[in-house]
Structure 1
């Protein structure tokens, strides 16, 4: 055996010894942690609802397909419950143009910095990266996010059945672009058309390039009022939703009607409605 062959043989021997040692270490740690894990699991399960425990045990006994179907039904049930709660809040709010104007005046100037300064956000992730989850929002941040989503739902879909009172005079089309993995943040919206597409936006700061990222375009028709306050409300609500949850550097939305098109740019520090 040549010199090179001896070196390879020695390396293989060392590798086998190393792997064997690692395996022994892992087994030893697992044995040490097993009692602690069992105690913590038992303690946690003892505090859970009995009906939930029964559901989980049954879930473990069924096949993968049936398990997915159960999860889907549960998700739909939760979604319907949240929608029912939202509709109840809207009926209590009784939104009209004057109340919408108050909402716009109060929050149209809010950006990411102000939300942090006033305690709505708590050390959120870098702009353009991950979703802002509950752990990064204070209680009043949660309340404001819920309010923004309620307002957006009301001005897009509200009618007499939800005690929403607008004299809508023309139809407009809202198109909203979101990365696929952030699309669930607006799953409360209904009657939308979803279109898949790839993004090719290049971030000049190289923080969140959108190069061939899978996006979803949401389109929804809604009725606008003569003062165009609905459009202003959409901008304000989407700005809050973006800064409190979606966390895009630039959230793209386009509003188009029959006579003209309106491009709405929603970013971190500035809102503008530009006609062309």
Structure 2
């Protein structure tokens, strides 16, 4: 539970690393910091291109995103997200930043959790997403669900360069979003910076299936069925082909655990769900 850990922290300041800029020479197109290559699904692209490509993917699927989540996972994503919120275990005074949370699934579960447990005092969730279309979907859903607008706010923000002051939140969640970021290490560094000492980082992400037989069936479903569903339900074959491929490029459970630790987090753990199809990662700023 979040409350157990907030009372046990040791204050530790981490300097703000600022923004990374690339300076161009006046008479050449060569940059001081070369534009390195990275992956966009199974494609190799320049780092400067990936953010735009990812933005385009979610811009195109925003209106059908929640429908496709139900179709692709046969509704199981709801179960995963419910467990995720239970593992966070919000308490009174929880200030949550939900990153890449555009359509509101995690934020709405947070609001339901604090309401059902009567712990709404001084609680608030800030939903952040780099994609404005996703945020608009979330705002509309929140209005239709009659959520208290004083408990939730919406911000357009890049996970690698957050505009919030250091030590602003005591909880940070990101669900099915971090694998789409170009520099995962920068996302984790920014997370560490904006969390208060004692604050908790939690990530729900597709991971690596443990059982070889199950992995084979999962791969067949992912590559043969999901893009077809994307085409039929959302008119987007390539977008869902990318999403399937991006899962395979994301670090496995142990590798990602190490990355979280290298960002400064302590008590880092992970929990596999559905045999490792997804994993919940957790760490504390101590």
Same fold (TM > 0.5): no
Could you tell me the TM-score, scaled by structure 1's length?
A: 0.27
Please identify the structure whose Cα radius of gyration is greater.
1
Structure with more helix by fraction: 1
